[in-house]
Amino acid sequence: MQSKRIVAVLAIFILSVLVVSQTPVSAIESIPSDLNIGPYVDKIVYNVIANQNQRILALQAGEIEMDTSIFDPFYLPTLEGDPDIDIFNPLRNGYGYININCDKYPLSVSAFRRAFAFAFNKTAVTENIMDGFSQEHDSLVPYASSWCIENEFSYHYYTDQTAIGAQILADANFTIDAGTGFLLAPNGDPFDVSIEYAASSPGIAGGTAQIGVDALRRLGVNARIRATDYNEYVRTLDYHGEYDMGFNAINFYSNDVDYLCYQFGSELADVRFQNPTNFVNETFDYWRGQLLYNTTYEGVYRAASEMQKILHYNVPRLVVYQNTYLQAYRNDQFTGHVEDFGKYISGPWTMRKIQKLDGSFGGTVPIAIDDVPDVFNIFRTRSAQSALILENLYASLYKRGPDLSPWPDLATNMITETHADNAEVPDGHTRFTMDIVQNATWSDGTPLTADDVVFTQVYAFMSSIYENPAGQGIGDLNAVYAPTPYRAVIEFNTESLWHFSNFAYDYIIPIHIFNDTSGIGYENWEFWNPVLDPEEPHVTCGPYLLTDFEEGESYELTRNPHYHYLDPATPLDPGVNPCPVLHSVSNVSYYIGTTGNEIIWEITDDNPLNYLITQNHDVLYSSPWDGSTIKYNVDGLEVGTHEFRLNLFDESGNFVGSTVFVHVLSNLTGTSTDIPVMYTIALGGLSSGSLIVILYVVVEKFRKRKKEL
């Protein structure tokens, strides 16, 4: 069946085992089956320490537990000699590169870019800039990716091959001006080239740019380096501004390669935030279509291979190194660090699993970040430091596991269908149906439901007309709806292996905060300034909550007591004795008028005493407790959200409190529980048979309007 083939291929490419690198790389240990469960510490505190030497000293002194940045190999002998410090040493899932503006003559001539690639000495970067902690690389797909064809190229740009480059230029009618000694373009015009780099990185960025200038000068080009503000340079790329060449670096957090389509597709050469090199190539575009919409692994692999070959020949972006990372962390107080090929040792999985050496709950983990977070608006931030914090605050349907494979977060299961499976799926479409956990709660106490999952996609699409970059990766979205409170359906109007990644990892946002009537709204996505502006709402649902900060100095995260994957063996609230032990409890949602709805607390204790249940601080029920499961009927409530609190006591004086939210929904048809709830909220009281059709019209309207802008 067609959809089963898509699911199988998704498993092949998303769950691919990473290829062992040529460079010695530490292997990822076995991934624990309870990876989601946690956190086990009270707090995470991110401290801004801009100077690397100060970060190293703080690590050695035990003032921080780890450094999120990568340390200079200069410090390796010192850190290796400290028995209280361990080092994670992976090959970077990314690389340093030089962008070339393919829209600017004569850089627009592919022969010029290819000549530059041959003259560029990548080995000099490895030896002189990276101190041997890198390897030469050509493909625009990292070496560790299962899609990379680095070893299949018939030639490489690893060493100084200026003679080959000079011959390419001569064959393309570039000549030398006898008066100046500099290269002239094929039309006889003089030109010069600047390679920009971030002034904040004179060593790696500036040194690599200088090696690029040396290569250009060997070819006869009037060239120079130019230090620039990094944010200004990025904005230039985002908005297709004026530049010649520029050094940058990138990390990839997945094994996907569909980014090639958006980084180099011809139709995106003038689209903001896409194709920063302005590369245009018809053959590439053909294979781009094959990669995006082919439904077989073999077809997609061939497309990825051909696209890499085209980029290797035309060189809109020259990869200059793929380096080995060095990241240090202490081992004398905490354990549970998770090695991660995407986020490395200081990523979100470590924050989820880190715990005291003796296995007891609690503690504060101080961590260094090397710069000040810019904003905490998930749509606006360009800061790696903000991203480190935000990834601990938000939930998504799936997270990328330590090996970059999808790991369920809010989703509990997923079915992928095409028309071949299900006649109700339109021909050529791909439909994803997901059930989500039923105990997720927003930090303001509102239950997280499928409405929020659906609204997240609607918000990304509808706010994209106001230039929200969240809409860029939404793909060929056709319909989204919530047939039940905890089931979401997302449908695309094409069949593709890549649709899963278009939505699976998006941070879910609360509909009651972002809606376009009483909330932030589509147009105001850019002006939302949470945390830094105390008047702005910041409602999250991840393993931690951002509870305090000194702007520019430190940012405190506290364990979320209502996180949907809390370990029942740890106390519900930090500092509370873990007995009694809560094993299971979920928020409750039901349609008004239904019966048999109960809150069920599965909880045990060695010497139980009594409990009471309250609502809005009013005692509803109290009783002696024998340690068995506690049930409380919540039928007959009005539409809305209701908070219930269980307080438990045992004979040892231990106390545990558990808050549960009951969400009573309005059944607008009076009978069916299959109403697409999200569409009803977004589009008004429409019959269920009209909803998908009307959303399609809305989607088409906004697509046409975007093209006109």
Residue 453 lies in a domain: yes
| pLDDT 10s digits, 66-124 | 999 989 888 999 999 999 999 998 888 899 999 999 999 999 999 999 999 999 999 99
Same domain, 208 and 355: no
Tell me the CATH number at 697: 3.90.76.10
Position 195 scores a pLDDT of 98
pLDDT (0 to 100) of residue 692: 36
- 613 and 709 belong to one structural domain: no
- Are residues 385 and 417 part of one domain? no
**Tens-place pLDDT, residues 159-170:** 999 999 999 999
Q: What is the pLDDT of residue 703?
A: 40
Between CA 86 and CA 475 the distance in angstroms is 42
Q: Say yes or no to pLDDT of 292 above 50.
A: yes
- Identify whether 671 is part of a domain: no
- Asked if residue 426 belongs to a domain, the reply is yes
In 201-252, beta strands by DSSP E? 222-228, 245-251
Instruction: Give residue 491's identity as a one-letter amino acid code.
Output: E
CATH number at residue 622: 2.60.40.10
Tokens, residue 664? 């009573």
- What pLDDT digit, counting tens, does each position of 351-408 carry? 999 999 999 999 999 999 999 999 999 999 989 999 999 999 999 999 999 888 889 9
* Residue 263, pLDDT score: 95
Which pLDDT score, from 0 to 100, does residue 506 have? 95
Predicted local confidence at residue 552, as pLDDT: 94
Are residues 524 and 438 located together in one domain of the fold?
yes
Same domain, 316 and 236: yes
Distance CA 577, CA 650 (A): 11
**Of 283, 305, 323, the domain-final residue:** 323
Share the mean pLDDT of the chain: 86
Asked whether residue 182 is assigned to any structural domain, the reply reads yes
Structural domain including 12 reads 1-25+394-541+684-709
In sequence order, which residues have a C-beta less than 8 Å from that of residue 387 and are 6 or more positions away?
381
* Per-residue confidence (pLDDT) for residue 625, from 0 to 100: 85
Over the stretch 337-354, which tens digit does the pLDDT of each residue have? 999 888 889 999 999 999
Rounded-to-integer distance, Cα 267 and Cα 239, Å: 15
- Residue 672 belongs to some domain of the structure: no
| Whole-number pLDDT of residue 379 | 96
Q: Which two tokens stand for residue 295?
A: 């439904």
The sign one gets for the Cα dihedral 116, 117, 120, 125 is positive
- Across 541-560, average pLDDT: 96
How many domains does the structure of the chain reveal? 4
Q: Using one digit for the tens of pLDDT, what is the confidence trace for 662-690?
A: 888 876 433 333 333 333 323 222 223 33
Q: Which amino acid is at 643?
A: E
pLDDT band at 418 (very low <50, low <70, confident <90, very high): confident
Based on the fold, state whether residues 286 and 422 are members of the same structural domain: no
Given a cut of 80, whether residue 12 has pLDDT beyond it is no
Give the DSSP letter string of 33-94.
Answer: TTTT----SSEEEEEE---HHHHHHHHHHTS-SEESSPPPGGGHHHHHT-TTEEEE-PBPSE
Tell me whether the omega of the peptide bond preceding residue 373 falls within 30 degrees of 0, making it cis: no
Asked if 445 and 521 sit in the same domain, the reply is yes
Instruction: Count Cβ atoms within 10 A of the Cβ of residue 575 and give its class: 0-12 exposed, 13-18 middle, 19 or more buried.
Output: exposed
What CA dihedral angle connects 312, 314, 320 and 324, to 10 degrees?
-30
Least trusted range by pLDDT, from 292-306, 466-480, 542-556, 690-704: 690-704
Based on the fold, state whether residues 295 and 349 are members of the same structural domain: no
The conformation of residue 419, written as its DSSP 8-state character, comes to T
- Higher-confidence residue: 84 or 593? 84
Question: Residue 575: inside a domain, yes or no?
Answer: no
Q: Which amino acid type is present at position 495?
A: E
Look at residue 576 and tell me if it is in a domain.
Answer: no
pLDDT at 27 over 70: no
Mean pLDDT along residues 544-561: 95
Residue 273 CB-half CA count within 13 A:
11
| Cα 309–Cα 311–Cα 313 angle in degrees, nearest 5 | 70
Among 100-114, 491-505, 597-611, 689-703, the range of highest mean pLDDT: 100-114
- 130 vs 296, higher pLDDT: 130
Percent of the chain residues topping a pLDDT of 90: 64
Residue 660 lies in a domain: yes
Average pLDDT estimate for 35-63: 96
Residue 525 has pLDDT above 90, yes or no: yes
**Residue 32, pLDDT score:** 81
pLDDT surpasses 50 at 605: yes
* 451-488 confidence digits (pLDDT tens): 999 999 999 999 999 999 998 767 789 999 999 889 99
* Domain stop point among 323, 357, 376: 323
| DSSP assignment letter at 442 | -
The winner for highest mean pLDDT among 251-260, 379-388, 580-589 is 379-388
Residues 163 and 310 in one domain: yes
Q: Does residue 234 share a domain with residue 198?
A: yes
Q: Quote the CA–CA distance of 314 and 509 in Å, as a whole number.
A: 41
Name the residue with higher pLDDT: 32 or 323.
Answer: 323
Per-residue confidence at 617, pLDDT binned at 50, 70, 90? Answer: low
Residues 206 and 296 in one domain: yes
The yes-or-no verdict on residue 308 having pLDDT over 80 is: yes
pLDDT band at residue 571 using 50, 70 and 90 as cut-offs: low
Q: Are residues 107 and 230 in the same domain?
A: yes
- Residue with more model confidence, 612 or 488: 488
More confident residue, 309 or 28: 309
Residue 521 has pLDDT above 60, yes or no: yes
